[in-house]
Structure 1
Amino acid sequence: MRIIQIITFLSVGTLVSCGAPVPQPFDPSSGKWVDLSHSYGAETIYWPTSDKFALETVSEGDTDGGYYYSAYKFTTAEHGGTHLDAPVHFARGKHSTENIPISSLTGPAAVIDVSDVVQDNADYQIGVADIARWEALHGPVPAGAQVLFHTGWAARWPDAKRYLGTDERGAAATAKLRFPGLSPEAATFLAEERQIESVGLDTASLDFGRSTGFEAHRILMEKNIIGYENVTGLEQLPPIGAYLVALPMKIEGGSGGPLRIVAFVPSAAETVGQN
Protein backbone atom coordinates (compact mmCIF):
# COMPACT_ATOMS: atom_id res chain seq x y z
CA MET A 1 0.00 0.00 0.00
CA ARG A 2 1.33 3.40 -0.93
CA ILE A 3 1.26 5.74 2.04
CA ILE A 4 0.63 9.38 1.24
CA GLN A 5 1.97 11.75 3.84
CA ILE A 6 -0.45 14.51 4.71
CA ILE A 7 1.09 17.73 5.94
CA THR A 8 -0.99 20.23 7.84
CA PHE A 9 -0.11 23.88 8.03
CA LEU A 10 -1.96 27.14 8.43
CA SER A 11 -3.25 27.75 4.94
CA VAL A 12 -4.85 30.95 3.79
CA GLY A 13 -6.44 29.04 0.94
CA THR A 14 -9.70 28.61 2.84
CA LEU A 15 -11.20 31.43 4.86
CA VAL A 16 -14.19 31.39 7.15
CA SER A 17 -16.80 34.13 6.82
CA CYS A 18 -15.07 36.47 9.26
CA GLY A 19 -11.89 36.33 7.20
CA ALA A 20 -9.85 34.31 9.73
CA PRO A 21 -7.70 31.50 8.31
CA VAL A 22 -8.39 27.92 9.31
CA PRO A 23 -5.93 24.98 9.18
CA GLN A 24 -6.27 22.91 6.02
CA PRO A 25 -4.51 19.62 5.22
CA PHE A 26 -3.01 19.10 1.81
CA ASP A 27 -1.35 16.25 0.00
CA PRO A 28 2.18 17.30 -1.05
CA SER A 29 1.91 14.93 -4.02
CA SER A 30 -0.98 16.99 -5.38
CA GLY A 31 0.26 20.40 -6.41
CA LYS A 32 3.35 22.07 -7.81
CA TRP A 33 6.50 23.85 -6.67
CA VAL A 34 7.14 27.26 -8.22
CA ASP A 35 10.64 28.72 -8.29
CA LEU A 36 10.50 32.44 -7.52
CA SER A 37 14.25 33.05 -7.91
CA HIS A 38 16.36 34.54 -10.68
CA SER A 39 19.56 32.63 -11.44
CA TYR A 40 22.92 34.19 -10.60
CA GLY A 41 25.12 34.86 -13.60
CA ALA A 42 26.67 37.48 -15.83
CA GLU A 43 23.34 39.24 -16.41
CA THR A 44 22.21 39.35 -12.77
CA ILE A 45 21.07 42.84 -11.82
CA TYR A 46 22.73 44.61 -8.89
CA TRP A 47 22.34 48.01 -7.27
CA PRO A 48 24.46 50.53 -9.25
CA THR A 49 26.97 50.84 -6.39
CA SER A 50 27.39 47.07 -5.82
CA ASP A 51 29.90 44.77 -7.46
CA LYS A 52 28.28 42.26 -9.78
CA PHE A 53 28.32 38.48 -9.54
CA ALA A 54 31.50 36.79 -10.75
CA LEU A 55 32.19 33.08 -11.19
CA GLU A 56 35.79 31.91 -11.47
CA THR A 57 36.89 28.46 -12.56
CA VAL A 58 39.08 26.63 -10.08
CA SER A 59 39.12 23.34 -11.98
CA GLU A 60 37.20 21.89 -14.89
CA GLY A 61 37.91 18.89 -17.06
CA ASP A 62 39.20 15.34 -17.05
CA THR A 63 41.62 14.48 -14.28
CA ASP A 64 44.66 12.24 -14.24
CA GLY A 65 42.49 9.73 -12.40
CA GLY A 66 40.26 9.35 -15.44
CA TYR A 67 37.17 11.13 -14.14
CA TYR A 68 35.62 14.53 -14.80
CA TYR A 69 35.84 17.16 -12.06
CA SER A 70 34.69 20.79 -11.80
CA ALA A 71 34.89 23.38 -9.04
CA TYR A 72 34.37 27.13 -9.03
CA LYS A 73 34.44 30.11 -6.68
CA PHE A 74 32.19 33.12 -6.78
CA THR A 75 31.99 36.63 -5.44
CA THR A 76 28.81 38.59 -4.86
CA ALA A 77 27.39 41.45 -2.86
CA GLU A 78 24.76 40.42 -0.29
CA HIS A 79 22.14 42.59 -1.96
CA GLY A 80 21.87 41.63 -5.62
CA GLY A 81 19.85 39.22 -7.68
CA THR A 82 17.05 37.48 -5.79
CA HIS A 83 18.09 38.08 -2.21
CA LEU A 84 17.00 38.51 1.38
CA ASP A 85 17.17 41.70 3.41
CA ALA A 86 17.77 40.80 7.06
CA PRO A 87 16.22 43.23 9.57
CA VAL A 88 19.68 44.44 10.67
CA HIS A 89 20.08 45.86 7.16
CA PHE A 90 18.13 48.94 8.33
CA ALA A 91 17.54 48.41 12.06
CA ARG A 92 20.36 48.33 14.60
CA GLY A 93 20.31 45.28 16.87
CA LYS A 94 17.67 43.35 14.92
CA HIS A 95 18.12 39.93 13.34
CA SER A 96 21.14 39.33 11.14
CA THR A 97 20.81 36.69 8.47
CA GLU A 98 21.83 33.67 10.50
CA ASN A 99 19.57 34.62 13.41
CA ILE A 100 16.32 34.73 11.46
CA PRO A 101 14.06 31.88 12.69
CA ILE A 102 13.14 29.29 10.07
CA SER A 103 9.52 29.88 11.07
CA SER A 104 9.85 33.46 9.80
CA LEU A 105 11.15 32.26 6.43
CA THR A 106 8.31 29.84 5.76
CA GLY A 107 4.55 30.16 5.86
CA PRO A 108 1.32 30.94 4.01
CA ALA A 109 1.66 33.46 1.20
CA ALA A 110 -0.65 36.38 0.52
CA VAL A 111 -0.01 37.49 -3.07
CA ILE A 112 -1.24 41.01 -3.83
CA ASP A 113 -1.36 41.85 -7.54
CA VAL A 114 -0.82 45.55 -8.25
CA SER A 115 0.46 45.10 -11.80
CA ASP A 116 -2.57 46.87 -13.25
CA VAL A 117 -1.91 50.10 -11.36
CA VAL A 118 1.89 50.25 -11.65
CA GLN A 119 2.47 49.32 -15.29
CA ASP A 120 2.43 52.95 -16.48
CA ASN A 121 3.88 54.49 -13.32
CA ALA A 122 7.44 53.54 -12.39
CA ASP A 123 7.21 55.83 -9.36
CA TYR A 124 4.16 54.12 -7.90
CA GLN A 125 4.12 53.52 -4.16
CA ILE A 126 1.88 50.64 -3.14
CA GLY A 127 -0.59 51.97 -0.58
CA VAL A 128 -3.00 50.82 2.08
CA ALA A 129 -5.80 51.15 -0.49
CA ASP A 130 -4.14 48.47 -2.63
CA ILE A 131 -4.04 46.12 0.35
CA ALA A 132 -7.66 46.98 1.22
CA ARG A 133 -8.73 46.12 -2.32
CA TRP A 134 -7.13 42.67 -1.93
CA GLU A 135 -8.64 42.18 1.54
CA ALA A 136 -12.12 43.00 0.25
CA LEU A 137 -11.84 39.90 -1.94
CA HIS A 138 -9.82 37.53 0.25
CA GLY A 139 -10.21 38.61 3.86
CA PRO A 140 -7.64 40.27 6.12
CA VAL A 141 -3.97 39.46 5.57
CA PRO A 142 -3.41 36.95 8.39
CA ALA A 143 -0.83 37.45 11.12
CA GLY A 144 2.32 35.53 10.28
CA ALA A 145 1.78 35.75 6.53
CA GLN A 146 4.48 36.09 3.89
CA VAL A 147 3.22 39.03 1.82
CA LEU A 148 4.28 39.20 -1.83
CA PHE A 149 3.50 42.10 -4.15
CA HIS A 150 3.26 41.28 -7.84
CA THR A 151 4.09 44.41 -9.84
CA GLY A 152 4.95 42.66 -13.10
CA TRP A 153 8.41 44.26 -13.04
CA ALA A 154 10.12 40.85 -13.24
CA ALA A 155 9.17 40.68 -16.92
CA ARG A 156 11.79 43.42 -17.51
CA TRP A 157 14.64 41.29 -16.15
CA PRO A 158 17.56 41.20 -17.10
CA ASP A 159 17.33 44.53 -18.96
CA ALA A 160 18.77 46.82 -16.27
CA LYS A 161 17.62 50.01 -17.99
CA ARG A 162 13.99 48.86 -18.06
CA TYR A 163 14.13 47.13 -14.68
CA LEU A 164 16.04 49.75 -12.67
CA GLY A 165 15.41 52.81 -14.81
CA THR A 166 19.11 53.04 -15.67
CA ASP A 167 21.91 50.74 -16.73
CA GLU A 168 24.57 53.17 -15.53
CA ARG A 169 26.90 52.21 -12.68
CA GLY A 170 28.20 54.18 -9.71
CA ALA A 171 26.77 56.46 -7.03
CA ALA A 172 25.45 59.04 -9.49
CA ALA A 173 23.25 56.39 -11.12
CA THR A 174 21.17 55.93 -7.97
CA ALA A 175 19.42 59.24 -8.67
CA LYS A 176 18.07 57.70 -11.88
CA LEU A 177 16.48 54.61 -10.35
CA ARG A 178 12.82 54.22 -11.31
CA PHE A 179 10.65 51.31 -10.16
CA PRO A 180 7.62 50.86 -7.88
CA GLY A 181 7.81 49.97 -4.19
CA LEU A 182 5.97 49.99 -0.89
CA SER A 183 4.77 53.24 0.67
CA PRO A 184 5.63 54.04 4.31
CA GLU A 185 1.90 53.98 5.13
CA ALA A 186 1.48 50.48 3.71
CA ALA A 187 4.60 49.29 5.52
CA THR A 188 3.25 50.66 8.80
CA PHE A 189 -0.14 49.04 8.22
CA LEU A 190 1.37 45.61 7.53
CA ALA A 191 3.81 45.83 10.44
CA GLU A 192 1.41 47.14 13.07
CA GLU A 193 -2.06 46.10 11.96
CA ARG A 194 -1.33 42.75 10.31
CA GLN A 195 1.86 41.58 12.09
CA ILE A 196 3.32 39.77 9.11
CA GLU A 197 6.63 37.89 8.84
CA SER A 198 7.96 39.22 5.54
CA VAL A 199 7.39 41.41 2.49
CA GLY A 200 8.60 40.48 -0.98
CA LEU A 201 8.54 42.35 -4.29
CA ASP A 202 9.51 41.59 -7.88
CA THR A 203 11.50 44.84 -7.95
CA ALA A 204 14.98 45.85 -6.82
CA SER A 205 13.90 47.26 -3.44
CA LEU A 206 11.07 47.32 -0.93
CA ASP A 207 11.11 51.11 -1.36
CA PHE A 208 10.37 52.72 -4.70
CA GLY A 209 13.36 53.61 -6.85
CA ARG A 210 13.40 57.36 -6.16
CA SER A 211 13.36 56.89 -2.39
CA THR A 212 16.24 58.49 -0.50
CA GLY A 213 15.07 57.75 3.05
CA PHE A 214 14.14 54.07 2.61
CA GLU A 215 11.22 54.49 4.99
CA ALA A 216 9.52 51.16 4.14
CA HIS A 217 12.71 49.27 4.94
CA ARG A 218 13.14 51.07 8.24
CA ILE A 219 9.53 50.64 9.37
CA LEU A 220 9.41 46.92 8.57
CA MET A 221 12.84 46.00 9.85
CA GLU A 222 12.41 47.79 13.15
CA LYS A 223 9.75 45.10 13.72
CA ASN A 224 12.15 42.31 12.61
CA ILE A 225 10.19 41.86 9.38
CA ILE A 226 12.20 40.32 6.53
CA GLY A 227 12.46 41.62 2.97
CA TYR A 228 12.68 39.62 -0.27
CA GLU A 229 13.80 41.58 -3.34
CA ASN A 230 14.10 40.80 -7.05
CA VAL A 231 11.58 37.97 -6.74
CA THR A 232 10.13 36.52 -9.95
CA GLY A 233 7.31 34.24 -11.08
CA LEU A 234 4.62 35.73 -8.83
CA GLU A 235 2.09 35.55 -11.66
CA GLN A 236 2.15 31.76 -11.15
CA LEU A 237 0.81 32.00 -7.59
CA PRO A 238 -2.83 32.34 -6.48
CA PRO A 239 -3.76 35.25 -4.22
CA ILE A 240 -4.19 32.80 -1.32
CA GLY A 241 -3.32 29.15 -0.74
CA ALA A 242 0.39 28.95 -1.61
CA TYR A 243 3.04 28.09 0.98
CA LEU A 244 6.36 29.94 0.83
CA VAL A 245 9.85 28.66 1.62
CA ALA A 246 12.62 31.29 1.48
CA LEU A 247 16.07 30.06 2.52
CA PRO A 248 19.02 32.44 2.18
CA MET A 249 22.71 31.67 2.42
CA LYS A 250 23.33 31.54 6.18
CA ILE A 251 25.87 34.35 6.49
CA GLU A 252 27.04 34.96 10.05
CA GLY A 253 26.43 38.60 10.93
CA GLY A 254 25.03 39.23 7.46
CA SER A 255 22.64 42.01 6.50
CA GLY A 256 21.19 39.80 3.77
CA GLY A 257 22.24 37.21 1.26
CA PRO A 258 21.52 35.31 -1.94
CA LEU A 259 18.12 33.63 -1.73
CA ARG A 260 16.43 30.57 -3.18
CA ILE A 261 12.75 31.28 -2.71
CA VAL A 262 10.04 28.82 -3.78
CA ALA A 263 6.34 28.27 -3.20
CA PHE A 264 4.21 25.16 -3.07
CA VAL A 265 0.79 25.55 -4.67
CA PRO A 266 -1.65 22.76 -3.72
CA SER A 267 -3.91 21.76 -6.60
CA ALA A 268 -6.97 22.94 -4.69
CA ALA A 269 -5.44 26.38 -4.21
CA GLU A 270 -4.83 27.08 -7.91
CA THR A 271 -8.43 28.11 -8.45
CA VAL A 272 -9.07 29.71 -5.06
CA GLY A 273 -9.84 33.42 -4.88
CA GLN A 274 -8.50 34.58 -8.24
CA ASN A 275 -7.94 38.34 -8.52
Structure 2
Amino acid sequence: AVDTIPVQHFVAPACVIDCSVHAAADPDYLLTVADIEAFEATHGRIPPGAWLLMRTDWSQRKDPVAYQNFDATGQHTPGPSTEAVQFLVEQRKVLGFGSEAIGTDAGQGYHLRPPYPCHYYMHGAGRYGLQCLANLDQLPPTGALLICPPLKIEKGSGSPLRVLALVPGR
Protein backbone atom coordinates (compact mmCIF):
# COMPACT_ATOMS: atom_id res chain seq x y z
CA ALA A 1 0.00 0.00 0.00
CA VAL A 2 1.16 3.53 -0.75
CA ASP A 3 1.21 4.49 2.93
CA THR A 4 3.79 1.77 3.67
CA ILE A 5 6.38 2.61 0.98
CA PRO A 6 9.78 3.18 2.62
CA VAL A 7 10.69 6.88 2.50
CA GLN A 8 14.10 6.08 0.98
CA HIS A 9 12.27 4.88 -2.16
CA PHE A 10 11.00 8.44 -2.77
CA VAL A 11 14.44 9.59 -3.98
CA ALA A 12 16.51 7.64 -6.50
CA PRO A 13 18.77 8.14 -9.53
CA ALA A 14 17.26 8.10 -13.00
CA CYS A 15 18.46 6.57 -16.25
CA VAL A 16 16.68 7.95 -19.32
CA ILE A 17 16.64 5.87 -22.51
CA ASP A 18 15.77 7.98 -25.56
CA CYS A 19 13.28 6.07 -27.71
CA SER A 20 11.73 9.22 -29.21
CA VAL A 21 12.77 8.50 -32.81
CA HIS A 22 11.39 4.95 -32.60
CA ALA A 23 8.13 6.09 -30.98
CA ALA A 24 7.63 8.82 -33.61
CA ALA A 25 7.93 6.18 -36.35
CA ASP A 26 5.91 3.50 -34.52
CA PRO A 27 3.44 4.44 -31.77
CA ASP A 28 3.42 0.77 -30.68
CA TYR A 29 7.20 0.75 -30.17
CA LEU A 30 8.42 -1.63 -27.47
CA LEU A 31 11.59 -0.98 -25.50
CA THR A 32 13.85 -4.03 -25.88
CA VAL A 33 16.71 -5.60 -23.96
CA ALA A 34 18.91 -4.61 -26.93
CA ASP A 35 17.90 -0.96 -26.37
CA ILE A 36 18.87 -1.25 -22.71
CA GLU A 37 22.19 -2.91 -23.52
CA ALA A 38 22.97 -0.24 -26.15
CA PHE A 39 22.22 2.45 -23.56
CA GLU A 40 24.55 0.74 -21.08
CA ALA A 41 27.32 0.41 -23.68
CA THR A 42 27.35 4.20 -23.94
CA HIS A 43 26.33 5.37 -20.45
CA GLY A 44 27.32 2.54 -18.13
CA ARG A 45 25.33 -0.09 -16.32
CA ILE A 46 21.97 0.86 -14.83
CA PRO A 47 22.55 0.83 -11.07
CA PRO A 48 20.35 -1.23 -8.75
CA GLY A 49 17.66 0.92 -7.18
CA ALA A 50 17.50 3.38 -10.09
CA TRP A 51 14.49 4.46 -12.10
CA LEU A 52 14.49 3.50 -15.77
CA LEU A 53 12.62 6.18 -17.71
CA MET A 54 11.54 5.60 -21.32
CA ARG A 55 11.72 8.90 -23.20
CA THR A 56 9.34 8.90 -26.15
CA ASP A 57 8.36 12.61 -26.31
CA TRP A 58 4.77 11.34 -25.96
CA SER A 59 4.15 14.10 -23.41
CA GLN A 60 4.51 16.67 -26.20
CA ARG A 61 1.15 15.50 -27.57
CA LYS A 62 -1.01 18.24 -26.06
CA ASP A 63 -4.26 17.14 -27.72
CA PRO A 64 -5.94 14.54 -25.44
CA VAL A 65 -7.12 12.47 -28.43
CA ALA A 66 -3.59 12.32 -29.88
CA TYR A 67 -2.15 11.57 -26.42
CA GLN A 68 -4.49 8.62 -25.84
CA ASN A 69 -4.12 7.52 -29.49
CA PHE A 70 -7.09 5.14 -29.75
CA ASP A 71 -8.45 3.56 -32.92
CA ALA A 72 -10.71 0.59 -33.67
CA THR A 73 -8.00 -1.82 -32.46
CA GLY A 74 -7.41 -0.06 -29.15
CA GLN A 75 -4.80 2.26 -27.74
CA HIS A 76 -1.45 2.74 -29.48
CA THR A 77 1.27 4.00 -27.15
CA PRO A 78 4.88 2.89 -26.62
CA GLY A 79 6.05 0.85 -23.65
CA PRO A 80 8.43 -1.92 -22.60
CA SER A 81 8.58 -5.43 -24.03
CA THR A 82 8.03 -8.40 -21.72
CA GLU A 83 11.71 -9.33 -21.96
CA ALA A 84 12.83 -5.77 -21.16
CA VAL A 85 10.70 -5.65 -18.01
CA GLN A 86 11.99 -9.04 -16.83
CA PHE A 87 15.57 -7.90 -17.52
CA LEU A 88 15.08 -4.65 -15.58
CA VAL A 89 13.55 -6.44 -12.58
CA GLU A 90 15.75 -9.54 -12.46
CA GLN A 91 19.09 -8.42 -13.90
CA ARG A 92 19.22 -4.69 -13.10
CA LYS A 93 17.01 -4.63 -10.00
CA VAL A 94 15.58 -1.21 -10.83
CA LEU A 95 13.35 0.64 -8.39
CA GLY A 96 10.79 1.15 -11.13
CA PHE A 97 9.88 2.10 -14.68
CA GLY A 98 8.58 5.44 -15.92
CA SER A 99 6.78 6.40 -19.11
CA GLU A 100 5.50 9.56 -20.77
CA ALA A 101 2.46 7.64 -22.00
CA ILE A 102 -0.80 7.11 -20.15
CA GLY A 103 0.39 3.85 -18.59
CA THR A 104 3.57 1.96 -17.79
CA ASP A 105 2.65 -0.71 -20.33
CA ALA A 106 2.31 -0.22 -24.08
CA GLY A 107 -1.19 0.55 -25.31
CA GLN A 108 -1.28 -2.83 -27.03
CA GLY A 109 0.20 -4.52 -23.95
CA TYR A 110 -2.77 -6.83 -23.63
CA HIS A 111 -1.40 -8.76 -26.65
CA LEU A 112 1.87 -9.52 -24.86
CA ARG A 113 2.41 -12.60 -22.68
CA PRO A 114 1.69 -12.13 -19.91
CA PRO A 115 -0.67 -9.27 -20.69
CA TYR A 116 0.60 -5.91 -19.40
CA PRO A 117 4.08 -7.18 -18.46
CA CYS A 118 5.10 -4.05 -16.56
CA HIS A 119 2.18 -4.48 -14.21
CA TYR A 120 2.79 -8.23 -13.97
CA TYR A 121 6.57 -8.28 -13.44
CA MET A 122 7.51 -4.82 -12.18
CA HIS A 123 4.60 -4.27 -9.83
CA GLY A 124 4.46 -7.98 -9.02
CA ALA A 125 8.04 -7.71 -7.72
CA GLY A 126 7.13 -4.78 -5.47
CA ARG A 127 8.67 -2.22 -7.83
CA TYR A 128 7.01 0.98 -8.91
CA GLY A 129 5.62 2.65 -12.01
CA LEU A 130 5.45 6.29 -13.07
CA GLN A 131 3.19 7.32 -15.93
CA CYS A 132 2.23 10.55 -17.69
CA LEU A 133 5.73 11.94 -17.12
CA ALA A 134 6.78 15.13 -18.91
CA ASN A 135 10.02 16.90 -19.80
CA LEU A 136 12.11 13.75 -20.10
CA ASP A 137 13.76 15.47 -23.07
CA GLN A 138 15.28 17.89 -20.55
CA LEU A 139 17.00 15.17 -18.51
CA PRO A 140 20.44 13.73 -19.20
CA PRO A 141 20.73 9.98 -19.84
CA THR A 142 22.26 9.61 -16.35
CA GLY A 143 22.94 11.89 -13.42
CA ALA A 144 19.45 13.13 -12.56
CA LEU A 145 17.93 12.39 -9.18
CA LEU A 146 14.16 11.81 -9.04
CA ILE A 147 12.01 12.84 -6.10
CA CYS A 148 8.67 10.99 -6.21
CA PRO A 149 6.75 11.12 -2.92
CA PRO A 150 3.19 9.79 -3.19
CA LEU A 151 0.27 11.03 -1.15
CA LYS A 152 0.02 8.93 2.00
CA ILE A 153 -3.26 7.23 1.13
CA GLU A 154 -4.03 4.54 3.69
CA LYS A 155 -4.06 1.14 1.95
CA GLY A 156 -3.95 2.93 -1.42
CA SER A 157 -2.79 1.03 -4.50
CA GLY A 158 -1.54 4.22 -6.18
CA SER A 159 -1.31 7.98 -5.87
CA PRO A 160 -0.96 11.10 -7.96
CA LEU A 161 2.59 12.47 -7.87
CA ARG A 162 4.45 15.58 -8.86
CA VAL A 163 7.72 14.01 -9.97
CA LEU A 164 10.72 16.30 -9.64
CA ALA A 165 14.16 15.81 -11.14
CA LEU A 166 17.32 17.37 -9.77
CA VAL A 167 20.07 17.72 -12.37
CA PRO A 168 23.59 18.65 -11.21
CA GLY A 169 24.71 22.03 -12.53
CA ARG A 170 21.19 23.26 -13.29
TM tier, shorter chain? over 0.9
Aligned to 2:90: 192
Aligned to 2:27: 122
The unaligned stretches of length 5 or more in structure 2 are none
2:69 aligns with one of 161, 165, 170: 165
> Is the counterpart of residue 106 in structure 1 residue 19 in structure 2?
no
What TM-score comes out, normalization by structure 1 length? 0.58
Structure 2 counterparts to residues 178-257 of structure 1, below 5 A: 178-212=76-110, 213-257=115-159
- Cα drift, residue 175 of structure 1: 4.9
What TM-score comes out, normalization by structure 2 length? 0.92
In structure 2, how many angstroms separate the alpha carbons of the residues matched to 1:186 and 1:227? 14
How many residues align? The count is 166
The residue identity in structure 2 corresponding to 1:109 is: A
- Cα drift, residue 120 of structure 1: 1.3
Structure 2 counterparts to residues 34-49 of structure 1, below 5 A: none
In structure 1, how many angstroms separate the alpha carbons of the residues matched to 2:128 and 2:72? 23
- Greater helix fraction, Structure 1 or Structure 2: 2
Give the direction of change, closer, same or farther, for the CA distance of 1:160–1:240 in structure 2 (3 Å limit): same
The residue identity in structure 2 corresponding to 1:165 is: N
Contact persistence 1:181–1:206 (CA under 8 A): yes
- Cα drift, residue 174 of structure 1: 9.1
Larger Rg: 1
In structure 2, how many angstroms separate the alpha carbons of the residues matched to 1:204 and 1:263? 20
The unaligned stretches of length 5 or more in structure 1 are 1-95, 167-172, 271-275
Percent identity, aligned pairs only? 37
**Could you list the per-position Cα deviations for residues 106-159 of structure 1 after superposition, in whole angstroms to 9, with x for gaps in the alignment?**
1111111111111110111111111111101011101111111111100003x1
In structure 2, how many angstroms separate the alpha carbons of the residues matched to 1:183 and 1:104? 24
- Greater strand fraction, Structure 1 or Structure 2: 1
In structure 2, how many angstroms separate the alpha carbons of the residues matched to 1:263 and 1:202? 14
In structure 2, how many angstroms separate the alpha carbons of the residues matched to 1:250 and 1:184? 30
Structure 2 counterparts to residues 50-129 of structure 1, below 5 A: 96-129=1-34
